[in-house]
Amino acid sequence: MLSNHFQNGIETAKLVWSRLPNSEEEGETGGDLDDDITFRKLSEGSSESLDYEVIENYAYRKEQSQRGKLYVGYYVAVKWFFALLIGIGTGLAAVFINIAVENFAGWKFAATFAIIQKSYLLGFLVYILINLALVFSSVCIITQFAPAAAGSGIPEIKGYLNGVDTHGILLFRTLVGKIFGSIGSVGGGLALGKEGPLVHTGACIASLLGQGGSTKYHLSLRWLQVFKSDRDRRDLVTCGCAAGVAAAFRAPVGGVLFALEEVTSWWRSQLMWRVFFTSAIVAVVVRTAMGWCKSGKCGHFGSGGFIIWDISGGQDDYSFEELLPMAIIGVIGGLLGALFNQLTLYISYWRRTYLHKKGNRVKIIEACLISLITSVISFGLPLLRECSPCPEAEANSDIECPRPPGMYGNYVNFFCSKDKEYNDLATIFFNTQDDAIRNLFSAKTFHEYSAQSLLTFLVMFYTLAVVTFGTAVPAGQFVPGIMIGSTYGRLVGMFVVNFYKKLNIEEGTYALLGAASFLGGSMRMTVSLCVIMVEITNNLKLLPLIMLVLLISKAVGDAFNEGLYEEQASLRGIPLLDSKPKYQMRTMTAKEACRSQKVVYFPRVVKVADLVSMLRTNKHNGFPVVEHARNGESVVIGLILRSHLLVLLQSKLDFQHSPMPCDLAGGSIPIRHNLGEFVKPVSSKGLSIRDIHLTSDDLEMYIDLAPFLNPSPYVVPEDMSLTKVYNLFRQLGLRHIFVVPRASRVIGLITRKDLLIEEHEESETLELQSTSV
Ligand code: ATP
């Protein structure tokens, strides 16, 4: 049944449509809604929703009925094969990035150390110039070649898996930009990490594989082009995200949990298996590459090149008294993490609104300036510190103190008057990030760092991380977060060691807890972060403590603002649907949420001229299709996608001279079109109504939309609470829901028992479901 506003236009069998509300109009109609709810708007042209729903149109059903179990088996096997390829691809990309970063950083430090033996000033200049060159290369790649590769990419991928496509995030050029850009930005010593970009890299690899390569760069393979629907690509991108984390941290289980907890909005048990498989493949690829590199074949990249800060030899027990300082670390993490999110939000907003609008040149100058400041601080501040004598080398320690000239790592001899001395600030500041973290986590009873050095580093690095966030380079926040957290964690650890003198307390343990707390306070992840921290430190005994600080820091952070990725997504205009509906939605109905009071719809058989004119005058992507019933009433017979209409108009194959509908019931409707194009939702982004050229004769023709529409769109009664609609929408990954008047009669009722179909009761439905495994 149609409501009144549906019926108005149907009387004359003419198309009636409303114009797409522009932002001002949306503002007006939005006035009807509860003022407290702000509906985030999709910035036009930059993002579009994805079609995750299976469009069970006539074409789809026909194709499914022609496919047997063999095809379903083939389809599933191909998905597993793709999961394997994603694992191998992401693992290799991670190894490549790590080898490149370690080598660039290695050459930089080796050259600087060699030169400062003669002149500190010259060494300083060389250090600055190398950093500048690396950062310059990175920002040039981003601004000139792959703008979508800037930042970590996680908010955009999160949006993609939530159902919003941001333009350009999964392109081949974005992948290339991400890989080479992060080598420059991380190698150039900026206060950012390569882990977030690796998640984006994994997602790009998965998406490109899913679409069979890049057609633009003539790198596509026809036999790979099996999956084209958004739904299939969503599953592959999920595998890619998990692979990215698994590769970045060598944490396969952490990768699976990261995908589950942080980036995806829908999850199925079959997907869990595939994601797990991909992560396992990544672990094998990375391990094999590491083994190969151990023999010195990869230059400066050795066992320390990949993140794994083994602290298994550290504190393995804790006393009750320690829980209080540990809880304090959680609170500090929550506060500093929330502050980090807020500051980066303000700065990013300012950048986007004022600075970056001035063009690429400003972005390049900005990144170079930040590189310069970072180099001056990381080289200059350690010069102000006095050196300390080296600790007594432990019998089984492989760490020399200080390292021989040209080597970097623990106990850096920097601006020291004596040979057997080290500069504690240089040991964490004037070092690669991985080595700095390893130093901060190091579990030694010897107090390697003074409180003054740790405090200086904390303040300076926190400031640098905030300022660097949002520059036009690929940037991850995991490693800066770990560095910030481990610094204040170690500071608390020093205090605890002095306070409870009799306990066997390690400062390194507190550094680890600090790292977990900052990440929890900023990113608001719990389970995945916990597992990642355990996997990278190889110390299972600390699991309860990590859980404790993560819970506290997340709770404290949540009291102030949203997580880093959610804040950034909303700043970028990505309309994420959170897992929880807003409180006010409980008192609102579905009808109240419909902003447009006039529904734009099509009759079943539509004149081409009307269709074109309607597509030109509004930009909606889904339209109800209505038909006159025998009793004169109009009924909704389904939903047609804009992308499908564009394909129909472009091919002209289904144009007909008469406005008579074809006989669907007979099963032999004359569809001349390639059905495959309607089985897989086609993105309308590639095709615009402006690209379609029709003659005046074409415009006088008709199209029967019935075979191409989705006959079973999701429909809700007008008085359903918006909370229920929200949950339905999010949980099913929908793009459109029809709101209809209260239903007048019931033709049946389905309960759990009706859905428990036995395997031998083979039905078409069962077959349909199995293909979307
Ligand atoms: P998405 O933007 O998620 O890809 P869409 O493009 O189909 O989906 P929009 O056109 O962006 O949807 O929707 C903007 C507003 O227009 C929404 O408030 C929605 O309720 C309304 N709207 C969408 N489709 C129609 C339609 N066929 N008739 C009337 N109003 C519509």
How would DSSP label each residue in 14-73?
Answer: ----PPPP-HHHHHHHGGGS-TT--PPPPPTTTEEE---S----HHHHHHHHH--HHHHH
Atom 3 in ligand 1: which residue has the minimum CA distance? 49
Average pLDDT over residues 659-680: 61
Average pLDDT over residues 337-346: 97
DSSP 8-state class, residue 474: B
Atom 24 in ligand 1: which residue has the minimum CA distance? 620
Atom 1 in ligand 1: which residue has the minimum CA distance? 49
Of 147, 198, 153, the closest CA to residue 568 belongs to 153
Atom 14 in ligand 1: which residue has the minimum CA distance? 620
Average pLDDT over residues 263-281: 91
Q: Which structure tokens are listed for 241? A: 């995200």
**Contacts of residue 107, Cβ cutoff 8 Å, sequence gap at least 6:** 130, 300
The answer to whether the CB of 317 falls within 8 A of the CB of 439 is no
pLDDT number for residue 767: 45
Distance 596 CA to ligand 1 centre (A): 8
Phi, psi of 589 (to 5 degrees): -105, 165
Flag the least confident range among 363-372, 520-529, 674-683.
Answer: 674-683
Distance 615 CA to ligand 1 centre (A): 13
Atom 12 in ligand 1: which residue has the minimum CA distance? 620
391 pLDDT exceeds 90? no
Query: For residue 366, with 0-12 CB atoms within 10 Å meaning exposed, 13-18 middle and 19 or more buried, which class applies?
Result: buried
pLDDT number for residue 62: 75
Decide: helix, strand or coil at residue 214.
strand
- Cis ω for the linkage preceding 389 (within 30 of 0): no
What type of residue is 427? T
Distance 187 CA to ligand 1 centre (A): 45
Decide: helix, strand or coil at residue 605.
strand
Average pLDDT over residues 607-616: 94
Higher-pLDDT residue of 501 and 709 is: 709
Q: Among the atoms of ligand 1, which is closest to the Cα of residue 601?
A: 27
Q: Among the atoms of ligand 1, which is closest to the Cα of residue 42?
A: 2
Q: Among the atoms of ligand 1, which is closest to the Cα of residue 596?
A: 30
**Contacts of residue 241, Cβ cutoff 8 Å, sequence gap at least 6:** 157, 161, 199, 202, 203, 206, 255, 258, 259, 263, 264
Cα gap 194→90, rounded to integer Å: 13
Average pLDDT over residues 224-244: 86
Atom 18 in ligand 1: which residue has the minimum CA distance? 595
Ligand 1 pocket list (CB less than 6 A): 20, 42, 48-49, 594-596, 599-600, 619-623, 735
pTM: 0.85
20 pLDDT exceeds 70? no
Q: Among the atoms of ligand 1, which is closest to the Cα of residue 624?
A: 27
pLDDT number for residue 524: 95
DSSP 8-state class, residue 103: H
Phi, psi of 693 (to 5 degrees): -115, 120
pLDDT number for residue 422: 84
Atom 10 in ligand 1: which residue has the minimum CA distance? 620
Atom 4 in ligand 1: which residue has the minimum CA distance? 49
Of 264, 233, 357, the closest CA to residue 577 belongs to 264
Q: Which structure tokens are listed for 724? A: 């229920």
Distance 760 CA to ligand 1 centre (A): 42
- By most ligand atoms within 8 Å of CB, the mutation choice from 596, 601, 739 for ligand 1 is 596
Q: Among the atoms of ligand 1, which is closest to the Cα of residue 163?
A: 3
Phi, psi of 747 (to 5 degrees): -105, -5
- By most ligand atoms within 8 Å of CB, the mutation choice from 620, 683, 726 for ligand 1 is 620
Average pLDDT over residues 568-589: 90
Cα gap 103→216, rounded to integer Å: 32
Distance 64 CA to ligand 1 centre (A): 30
Distance 620 CA to ligand 1 centre (A): 5
Decide: helix, strand or coil at residue 369.
helix
Cα gap 160→158, rounded to integer Å: 5
What type of residue is 77? A
Beta pairing class for 605-607 and 702-704? antiparallel
Cα gap 520→6, rounded to integer Å: 50
> 476 forms bridges with which residues in the sheet?
193
> 719 forms bridges with which residues in the sheet?
none
Q: Among the atoms of ligand 1, which is closest to the Cα of residue 575?
A: 3
Cα gap 437→483, rounded to integer Å: 6
What type of residue is 225? Q
Flag the least confident range among 74-78, 118-122, 187-191, 205-209.
Answer: 74-78
Q: Among the atoms of ligand 1, which is closest to the Cα of residue 48?
A: 4
Measured in whole angstroms, the distance separating CA 444 from the mean position of its chain's CA atoms is: 37
Cα gap 5→160, rounded to integer Å: 34
The answer to whether the CB of 477 falls within 8 A of the CB of 521 is no
| Cα dihedral 643/644/650/652 (nearest 10) | -170
Cα gap 276→259, rounded to integer Å: 10
> 603 forms bridges with which residues in the sheet?
626
Atom 11 in ligand 1: which residue has the minimum CA distance? 620
pLDDT range class, residue 50, cuts 50, 70, 90 = confident
pLDDT number for residue 281: 97
Q: Among the atoms of ligand 1, which is closest to the Cα of residue 623?
A: 27
Cα gap 129→757, rounded to integer Å: 69
